[in-house]
């Protein structure tokens, strides 16, 4: 619907008024922030000047403590005020450039007049006139903007449902305080706004664009009921963006009881963490905790094993087809990812309650003081109905008592006297001070010397036993690698194909203190079930991005790890590129974690990242691709070019990079299949054009031309993508279809595919 010139002028006048108000507040807040900062510096500088310090008697000590506490509270109050004012200032600076992006006129059924509601990234209240100049996009009433066309509408509030009539829905593009575009719209967020946003170049950081949230995304963002929220979304459907806006919404909606450190996001890799790191700060919220599942595994198991990461496993699956044992390794990866294998582990653990636990000898000064057999006998002497962790705690307590007795016996041993002679002066002084404190010294008597010797002997023995006690408290007397190894030395009913070879491969790695990625979660699960689960009850929301990369076993483990958390999982099974996901078509295993009444699923079929020609090209590569809806954004059709050989390939790619750069594209990706292929491409190109090679160790995402393996590009977007070699030799197996699709769907504006020899069958389907 068109907007008259007078309406445009009226709207600009309102923008001017709001920007002026924001400017006034910024000046005031800058003064407040500056003054508070000076107060903090002054208090810290003169902290002890204003504290009465005296330790003469009890009353003086109490007064000193009270004085210190009072001064600390003053400092803490100033710091809180400074933090609050600084956060407010940051929000206002963002609002000053673009104070709002939408307006709705809503008439409540119980009211005679309608309210004009302007939406932005933060609330702005004119307290003098008790008027909301801008409503936060997360406020309950703001949902009307995303969910309804003009007409009957309603929204939910903590106090109940508010029904009425949505009379107007207007969108703005405001830049530097000036309205660049203004239009009224219907049911969805207008194409004009999306066109403007999506037509921009890709950035090295994901942007938060709350103005473009679609109705189906909004429903997912504002869902507070489901214990498990499952989002299956096509490539470029805005899954990750909506997930981060959901975090911002939850922090706003439950701001009295929820903080950012109670939310954790599991992302696909460290580089992706860098890519999404600015979204929440853009919305005025602190970043939640971000990690990767492999980082968690490394944290828990890295000191015990040389732990394989999933990208190394991926490289193996893509490059080692001709190596002996390949089929067995692939079968093992797939089997160990299942809940069926978890059930095998559970039965094994149940048997360990009766027999089969393995322990290590406990040694002191090279001598076995408690043998593995003694520990096993003592463990199985405890009541068999008790859970394994409870009995393990009883064993540790028993051992600590035994060590106390043993330490007492060691006090008079000859080795103790020898070590006393080697002590330094500080150790002697420590013993002397300790005895003086206990008032056990008299006047240079023989008893004084004897007590000093006893004290020194006690110190020596306690120091030597300290490490043993620490190991006992950490249950390091358990032979966990041996216990896991033992599982693969026993026959298995209904064993999968290649089981004998799977067992041999697993045992071989364990004997070298290595742990394959497919064994890491099962091993940690077994460890937790024996020692006691290290659950995290402080986390209230867990977000899992690229959920198709996780196995059913891993999801079951995450549920146990965060027992009080709600879970939001987002993914696209058309991009399920890991071996364990072969043949998977949906989130059935994830959905089974919680009862149906606690689970809600969303399907996002519309793709916004790529132009219509690119989406229409890529969706033909996958089964069911016709369900993916392209956003109506025109662009150049993808190109497919046959080249003679690798030398010709590199020449064509260099020419293409130059032309893309000349066209103004800042983020260009040459996407290869593997890390090995990426190194070859990078070496060939770097002599002529500077390119950045992205590897699994790359910590941040930056603008420029990059060479990157397809599995690392997942979740990221680029202005233009050059697919390095789409030949049948490289992408010929059915198991590589999803990897090929994932690589091609990274492109926003241009996609160019090259190949040598015969064309990939997936490419043939796309043409």
Which tens digit of pLDDT belongs to each residue from 307-316?
Answer: 999 989 999 9
Query: Which helix or strand (DSSP H or E) is residue 747 part of?
Result: strand 747-756
Taking CB atoms within 8 Å and a gap of at least 24, the contacts of 403-409 are: 403/465, 403/468, 403/469, 403/472, 406/364, 406/369, 406/465, 407/461, 407/462, 407/465
**Structural domain for 2, as ranges:** 1-95
Does residue 215 share a domain with residue 184? Answer: no
Q: Is residue 313 one of the residues assigned to a domain?
A: no
Label the pairing between strands 692-693 and 667-672. unpaired
pLDDT in tens, 520-540: 999 999 999 999 988 899 999
The residue among 474, 492, 517 that closes a domain is: 474
The span from the first CA to the last CA of the chain, in angstroms, equals 39
Does residue 192 share a domain with residue 145? Answer: yes
Confidence of residue 565 (pLDDT cuts 50, 70, 90): very high
Q: Is residue 370 one of the residues assigned to a domain?
A: yes
Strand partners, 107: 165
User: Does residue 485 or residue 211 have the better pLDDT?
Assistant: 485
Q: Quote the pLDDT of residue 449.
A: 57
Strands (DSSP E) contained in 346-437 are 362-364, 367-370
Contact between 608 and 198 under an 8 Å Cβ cutoff? The reply is yes
CA distance 52 to 50: 7
pLDDT tops 60 at residue 435:
no
Does residue 761 share a domain with residue 677? Answer: yes
Q: Give CA 118 to chain center in angstroms.
A: 33
Which residues are within 8 A (CB) of 611 and not within 5 positions of it... i.e. 6 or more apart? 630, 633, 634, 635, 636, 748, 749
Six token digits for residue 78: 């100033």
Q: Quote the pLDDT of residue 445.
A: 46
Does residue 91 share a domain with residue 121? Answer: no
Q: Is residue 411 one of the residues assigned to a domain?
A: yes
Does residue 167 share a domain with residue 107? Answer: yes
Does residue 267 share a domain with residue 158? Answer: no
What is the count of structural domains for the chain?
A: 5
CA distance 744 to 573: 15
Q: Is residue 641 one of the residues assigned to a domain?
A: yes
Q: Is residue 56 one of the residues assigned to a domain?
A: yes
Does residue 131 share a domain with residue 48? Answer: no
Six token digits for residue 542: 């867990």
Six token digits for residue 211: 């103005």
Q: What are the angstrom distances between the C-alpha of 419 and each of 233, 406, 412, 454?
A: 68, 18, 12, 13
Q: Provide the whole-model pTM.
A: 0.84
Strand partners, 184: 170
The residue among 607, 623, 655 that closes a domain is: 607
Q: Is residue 515 one of the residues assigned to a domain?
A: no
Does residue 105 share a domain with residue 82? Answer: no
Contact between 283 and 210 under an 8 Å Cβ cutoff? The reply is yes
Q: Annotated binding site, which residues?
A: 233-240
Does residue 104 share a domain with residue 91? Answer: no
Task: Name the range with the highest mean pLDDT among 70-84, 277-291, 428-442, 466-480.
Answer: 466-480
Q: Annotated binding site for ATP, which residues?
A: 233-240
Query: Which helix or strand (DSSP H or E) is residue 669 part of?
Result: strand 667-672
Does residue 76 share a domain with residue 191? Answer: no
Label the pairing between strands 599-604 and 131-136. unpaired
The residue among 166, 189, 205 that closes a domain is: 205
Q: What are the angstrom distances between the C-alpha of 69 and each of 37, 44, 65, 337?
A: 20, 14, 6, 54
pLDDT in tens, 590-648: 888 899 999 999 999 888 889 999 999 999 999 989 999 888 888 999 999 999 999 99
Strand partners, 718: 747
Comparing CA positions, the residue from 744, 454, 453 lying closest to residue 610 is 744
Q: Is residue 615 one of the residues assigned to a domain?
A: no
Concatenate the DSSP letters of all residues of 572-622 into one string.
-GGG--SGGGTT--SSHHHHTTS-GGGEEEEEE-EE-SS-HHHHHHHGGGS
Q: Is residue 340 one of the residues assigned to a domain?
A: no
What single-letter DSSP state applies at residue 711? H
Does residue 585 share a domain with residue 686? Answer: no
CA distance 429 to 427: 5
Comparing CA positions, the residue from 580, 599, 525 lying closest to residue 558 is 525
Token pair 């950035």 is found at 203
pLDDT tops 50 at residue 450:
yes
Does residue 30 share a domain with residue 60? Answer: yes
Q: What percent of the chain has pLDDT over 90?
A: 51
Q: Quote the pLDDT of residue 277.
A: 73
Taking CB atoms within 8 Å and a gap of at least 24, the contacts of 213-217 are: 213/137, 213/146, 213/189, 213/242, 213/245, 214/146, 214/188, 214/189, 214/238, 214/606, 215/146, 215/147, 215/187, 215/188, 216/602, 216/604, 217/146, 217/241, 217/242, 217/245, 217/604
* CATH number, domain with residue 683: 3.40.50.300
pLDDT tops 90 at residue 755:
yes
């Amino acid at each position: 619907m068109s907007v008259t010139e007078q309406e445009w002028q009226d709207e600009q006048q309102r923008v001017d008024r709001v920007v002026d108000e924001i400017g006034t507040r910024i000046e005031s807040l800058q003064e407040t922030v500056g003054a508070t900062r000076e107060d903090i510096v002054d208090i810290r500088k003169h902290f002890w000047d204003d504290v009465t310090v005296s330790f003469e008697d009890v009353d003086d000590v109490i007064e000193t403590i009270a004085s210190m506490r009072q001064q600390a509270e003053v400092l803490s109050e100033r710091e809180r005020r400074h933090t609050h004012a600084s956060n407010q200032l940051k929000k206002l600076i963002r609002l000053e450039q673009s104070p709002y992006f939408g307006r709705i006129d809503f008439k409540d059924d119980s009211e005679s007049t309608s309210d004009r509601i302007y939406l932005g990234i933060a609330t702005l209240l004119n307290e003098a006139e008790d008027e909301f100049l801008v409503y936060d996009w997360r406020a309950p009433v703001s949902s009307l903007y995303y969910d309804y066309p003009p007409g009957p509408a309603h929204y939910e509030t903590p106090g109940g449902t508010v029904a009425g009539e949505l009379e107007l829905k207007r969108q703005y593009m405001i830049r530097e305080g000036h309205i660049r575009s203004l239009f009224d719209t219907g049911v969805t967020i207008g194409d004009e706004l999306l066109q403007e946003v999506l037509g921009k170049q890709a950035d090295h950081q994901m942007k938060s664009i709350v103005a473009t949230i679609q109705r189906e995304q909004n429903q997912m963002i504002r869902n507070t009921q489901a214990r498990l929220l499952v989002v299956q979304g096509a490539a470029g459907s805005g899954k990750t963006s909506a997930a981060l806006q959901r975090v911002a919404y939850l922090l706003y909606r439950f701001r009295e009881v929820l903080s950012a450190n109670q939310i954790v996001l599991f992302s696909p890799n460290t580089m992706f963490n860098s890519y999404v790191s600015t979204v929440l700060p853009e919305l005025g919220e602190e970043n939640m905790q971000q990690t990767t599942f492999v980082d968690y595994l490394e944290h828990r198991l890295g000191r015990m094993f040389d732990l394989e990461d999933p990208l190394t496993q991926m490289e193996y699956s893509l490059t080692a087809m001709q190596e002996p044992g390949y089929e067995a390794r692939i079968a093992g990866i797939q089997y160990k990812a299942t809940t069926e294998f978890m059930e095998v582990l559970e039965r094994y653990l149940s048997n360990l309650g009766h027999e089969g636990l393995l322990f290590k000898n406990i040694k002191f000064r090279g001598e076995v003081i408690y043998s593995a057999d003694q520990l096993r006998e003592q463990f199985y002497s405890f009541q068999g109905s008790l859970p394994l962790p409870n009995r393990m705690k009883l064993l540790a307590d028993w051992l600590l008592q035994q060590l106390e007795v043993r330490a007492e016996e060691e006090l008079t041993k000859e080795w103790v006297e020898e070590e006393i002679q080697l002590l330094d002066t500080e150790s002697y002084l420590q013993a002397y001070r300790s005895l003086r404190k206990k008032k056990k010294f008299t006047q240079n008597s023989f008893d004084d010397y004897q007590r000093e010797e006893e004290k020194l002997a006690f110190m020596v023995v306690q120091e030597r036993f300290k490490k043993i006690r620490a190991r006992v408290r950490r249950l390091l007397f358990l032979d966990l690698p041996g216990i896991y190894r033992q599982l693969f030395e026993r026959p298995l009913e209904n064993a999968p194909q290649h089981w004998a070879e799977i067992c041999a491969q697993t045992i071989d790695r364990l004997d070298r203190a290595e742990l394959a990625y497919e064994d890491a979660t099962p091993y940690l699960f077994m460890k937790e079930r024996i020692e006691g689960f290290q659950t995290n009850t402080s986390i209230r929301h867990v977000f899992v991005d690229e959920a198709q990369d996780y196995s059913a076993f891993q999801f079951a483990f995450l549920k146990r790890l965060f027992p009080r958390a709600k879970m939001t999982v987002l993914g696209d099974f058309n991009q399920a590129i890991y071996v364990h996901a072969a043949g998977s078509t949906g989130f059935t295993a994830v959905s089974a974690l919680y009862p149906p009444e606690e689970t809600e699923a969303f399907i996002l079929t519309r793709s916004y990242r790529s132009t219509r020609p690119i989406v229409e090209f890529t969706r033909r590569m996958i089964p069911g691709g016709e369900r993916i809806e392209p956003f109506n954004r025109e662009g150049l059709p993808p190109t497919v070019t046959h080249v003679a050989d690798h030398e010709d390939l590199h020449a064509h790619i260099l020419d293409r990079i130059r032309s893309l750069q000349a066209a103004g594209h800042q983020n260009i990706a040459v996407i290869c299949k593997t890390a090995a292929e990426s190194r070859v491409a990078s070496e060939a190109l770097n002599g002529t054009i500077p390119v950045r090679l992205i590897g699994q160790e790359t910590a941040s995402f930056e603008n420029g031309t990059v060479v990157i393996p397809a599995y690392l590009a997942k979740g990221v977007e680029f202005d233009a993508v050059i697919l390095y070699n789409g030949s049948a030799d490289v992408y010929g197996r059915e198991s590589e279809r999803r990897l090929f699709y994932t690589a091609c769907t990274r492109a926003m504006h241009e996609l160019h595919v090259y190949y040598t020899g015969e064309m990939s069958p997936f490419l043939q389907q796309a043409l």
